[in-house]
Structure 1
Amino acid sequence: MNWKVCLAILTCNVVFMSSSYTMLIPFLPMYLTRELGVDASSVNIWSGVVFSSTFAVSAIMAPIWGRLADKKGKRLMAIRSSLLLAISYFLGGIVTSPLQLTFMRMFQGFAAGLWPMELAIMTTYAPPKKLGICLGVMQGALTAGGVIGPLFGGLLAEIFGMRMSFFLAAGALFLNFLILVFFIKEPPDTDAPAETTKAAAPAEEGSLWHHPLIRNMLIFAVFVQMVILIIQPVLTTYVTELAGHLDNLIFISGLVFSLGGFASAVSSPLWGRFGQHHGFHTSLTYALFATSLVFFLQAVPDDLYYFAATQFAIGLFFSGIYPSINAILAENTTAHMKGRVFGLLFSAQQIGSMAGPLLGGVIATFVGIKFVFVLAGVIVLIMSIFARRQQKIAMRQYHP
């Protein structure tokens, strides 16, 4: 199968997948109160339970699905995930109680794994010299879906009600299922001569966690995702404080949120190209360091327009982190191990997703919202220092 055709198809799939998810997730508290009868005093508790239940299950299941992908086929696991996710969204549209919604989200965690499987398929088809560009494009598609989803979901909810949004998401995932069945072929389980894999030998079965570079990238993924989820829960409150008594506050808040997404969707392919030409360790180090500086700047302003500019800058720099991590993992695993390594990556992200909101909520409540951005900046700055050390080790191995 031609890698360009595969990239085009999977990019469309990623947009459908991401927009379907973000079309619903921001509005779950509203769904609990308006459709499922949860009172205002307990909606925050139910929201926490509903959100975290998916992360807990998917963190356990992701490595299992990844191992099965390497044994039974990456395409088969992508088909499995898209079909089960479609079913989960349909169930979300017919639930009648918060407990049923929690069980639906747990089933969604069981079904999860479409994103890592599509990454695994793409990294197997992509020529070594095009790996960074391919991963950058897919990361940009993921972010673009994240921007489109809330805007589209809010419009649908106003016109047709939130249940229709679940059914539409189910339809989008079922379309993904059909595309995977009829248009994507199982990638070859062979490895082309790896011109880019000189820094370390590709990891083999049973050695992924013991491979220092892969272990470090998985740990990085935990902290990167944790930083994302530290910030997201407090953004609404922070923008509201900065906006004061401006008219159209909801619209303005949504616009500020979307600035980072727009910047990320545009810059992700550029970061992939940069990493391809200058090395993915280099792009990772630069992206982390620049992101940490902008996080520190976000803790400074008392002006909404200043904060909006920093939100755009965050999108520009943060978008270079995951394509670099994904490319480093792809370069250092053989084709028959890519399903497992991206399954572990997804599991690491879910662990970060569980830890982030808890830590961010504690800091915002007891110290202050501005210190949430300071904490995020410190974490990412420390990661950039470790990434720089990893880069030096890789360069010594490349030029012994």
Structure 2
Amino acid sequence: MERWRINLYILWISQVISLTSFGFGLPFIPFFIQELGVTDPEQLKIFTGILSAAPAITMAIMSPIWGILSDKFGQKMMIQRAMLAAVIIIGGMGFSTSVWHLLILRFLQGLFTGTITASSAFVAVNTPNHKLSYALGFLSSSTFIGYSLGPYLGGMVADSFGYRVSFYVGAGLMLIGFALVTFFLKGDKKPERRKTSVIKGTSKWKELFAVGIMLLMAMLFLQRVIRTIFSPFVPLYVQELTHTTVGAASTTGSINGLIGLVTAVAAILISRLGDKYDKMRLIRIMLLLGLVDVLILNFTSGMTNFVVFYTLLFFIIGGIEPLITSQTAEMTSPDKRGTLFGIQGLVGSLGWMISPVLGTYVSIQFGIKQIFWVLLFFVFLNLCMAFIVRNYRKKQEVKSDDSI
């Protein structure tokens, strides 16, 4: 078997373990902070938003730095750094005695973790260009599978043994993932500059900040908002629909698990299509279907309808982010892809940071369900961006033909 495939499968397993460990405790933070003494409904929504945005703020600062360092010292080292830091931070959350302790650890999480970005950079550097969509889509499926297993298993642990135990188990799992990467992941040699769609001789920063890549970065930002704007409020919405916190952790875990599973399936299926068909056309189709789904979600009520259409949304949009990241990677030289994924981490973190702030404001002013209207707006906005990218590419093709 080719080495890049072996590395991909090792990273897939390690990321399933990694994201499962995160999922053991983090989705139930709204319940945990109630246990820590935050019970006022308005304060609960505010802290839910702040704790969701906290790691995104610091990750936005550090992602480009870690990306540059990965190009210089190797992507494997960055994966090890992120996973070892996560062991300490997730375990530390279990020892929190106030919401402020939890907030500090969430800020530290953004500073020192980031296993997904580091692993994606490794795959982008060590995978042939014609297999990038498949490889990144396959790797991203590990994220969603991990996020499906973690909340499901963590919900049962939390309901049976308490939220603190969920964090301890999560830290133990992350340590297993760290060992797997340390002893079995190989390769990571300094890549030579290979032919890409970028003109030879282009400077590093001019290449990374080309107009085409920046447009795709804007789409990535909007996509991250779409994926995360409602996620922090799923536990509170479940509590609102069921009128109780009894068993809410298990219910939330099951919903998150189902969402993670269908998103993983979508990421694999759609990313495979991305190696055969036009990626941007696939993205436009997915966003159009997503727009219809969110519109229906806004006009329905009840737990069953919420689960069906919210889950369907993640199946529809599950493959979009891998398609965007593989498209940008194909437009960038391999020796710059670590930096590229660091910048993408910055852009994604900004989306992750803004979405809970918007969600918190809307939930306080108008109610949790009204966040779906904001979600609809961002899906529509990203669909518009997809058409802008299409028009830009057509203009570039015309210019290229005229220059021949």
**What TM-score, normalized to structure 1?**
0.88
Q: Does 1:381 align with 2:380?
A: yes
- Report the equivalent of 1:87: 88
**What TM-score, normalized to structure 2?**
0.87
- Report the equivalent of 1:158: 159
Task: Out of 62-71 and 228-237, give the one that drifted further.
Answer: 228-237
RMSD: 2.8
- Report the equivalent of 2:288: 289
Instruction: Give the secondary-structure state (helix, strand or coil) at the position aligned to 2:225.
Output: helix
- Report the equivalent of 1:273: 272
Q: Does the 8 Å contact 1:204/1:334 carry over to 2?
A: no
| Structure 1, unaligned runs of 5 or more | none
Spell out, residue by residue over 1:65-118, the C-alpha distance to the aligned partner (whole angstroms, 9 max, x if none): 111111111111111111111121222233333333322222222112221110
Q: Does the 8 Å contact 1:81/1:113 carry over to 2?
A: yes
Alpha carbons of 1:359 and 1:68: their partners in 2 closer, same or farther (altered >3 Å)?
same
Q: CA deviation at 1:204?
A: 4.6
- Report the equivalent of 1:4: 5
Q: Does the 8 Å contact 2:134/2:268 carry over to 1?
A: yes
Alpha carbons of 1:201 and 1:168: their partners in 2 closer, same or farther (altered >3 Å)?
farther
Q: Distance in 2 between matches of 1:254 and 1:172?
A: 18
- Report the equivalent of 1:363: 362
Q: Give, as a single letter, the amino acid of the residue that structure 2 aligns with 1:68.
A: L
Q: CA deviation at 1:210?
A: 2.9
Alpha carbons of 1:26 and 1:306: their partners in 2 closer, same or farther (altered >3 Å)?
closer
Q: Distance in 1 between matches of 2:232 and 2:184?
A: 38
1:315-394 alignment to 2 at 5 Å? 315-394=314-393
Q: Distance in 2 between matches of 1:244 and 1:81?
A: 38
Instruction: Give the secondary-structure state (helix, strand or coil) at the position aligned to 2:21.
Output: helix
Q: Distance in 2 between matches of 1:228 and 1:141?
A: 16
Q: Give, as a single letter, the amino acid of the residue that structure 2 aligns with 1:332.
A: M
Q: Does the 8 Å contact 2:159/2:247 carry over to 1?
A: no
Spell out, residue by residue over 1:115-159, the C-alpha distance to the aligned partner (whole angstroms, 9 max, x if none): 111001111222222211111111111111111111111222233
Q: Does the 8 Å contact 1:272/1:323 carry over to 2?
A: yes
Q: CA deviation at 1:201?
A: 4.3
- Report the equivalent of 1:122: 123
Alpha carbons of 1:268 and 1:91: their partners in 2 closer, same or farther (altered >3 Å)?
same
Q: CA deviation at 1:30?
A: 3.0
Q: Does the 8 Å contact 1:259/1:315 carry over to 2?
A: no
Q: CA deviation at 1:187?
A: 2.1
Q: Does the 8 Å contact 2:53/2:356 carry over to 1?
A: no
- Report the equivalent of 2:77: 76
Q: CA deviation at 1:310?
A: 1.7
Task: Out of 348-357 and 205-214, give the one that drifted further.
Answer: 205-214
1:130-169 alignment to 2 at 5 Å? 130-169=131-170
Spell out, residue by residue over 1:330-367, the C-alpha distance to the aligned partner (whole angstroms, 9 max, x if none): 11111121111111111112111221122123334434
- Report the equivalent of 2:67: 66
- Report the equivalent of 1:180: 181
Alpha carbons of 1:204 and 1:167: their partners in 2 closer, same or farther (altered >3 Å)?
farther
Q: Does the 8 Å contact 2:53/2:357 carry over to 1?
A: no
Q: Distance in 1 between matches of 2:382 and 2:239?
A: 30
Aligned residues: 394
1:9-88 alignment to 2 at 5 Å? 9-34=10-35, 37-41=36-40, 43-88=44-89
Q: Does the 8 Å contact 1:280/1:327 carry over to 2?
A: no
Q: Give, as a single letter, the amino acid of the residue that structure 2 aligns with 1:116.
A: T
Spell out, residue by residue over 1:46-66, the C-alpha distance to the aligned partner (whole angstroms, 9 max, x if none): 444443332221111111111
| Structure 2, unaligned runs of 5 or more | none
- Report the equivalent of 1:259: 258
Q: Distance in 1 between matches of 2:127 and 2:271?
A: 13
Q: CA deviation at 1:230?
A: 2.1
Q: Does the 8 Å contact 1:153/1:165 carry over to 2?
A: yes
Identical-pair percentage? 25
Q: Give, as a single letter, the amino acid of the residue that structure 1 aligns with 2:52.
A: F
Instruction: Give the secondary-structure state (helix, strand or coil) at the position aligned to 1:278.
Output: coil
Q: Does the 8 Å contact 1:146/1:261 carry over to 2?
A: yes
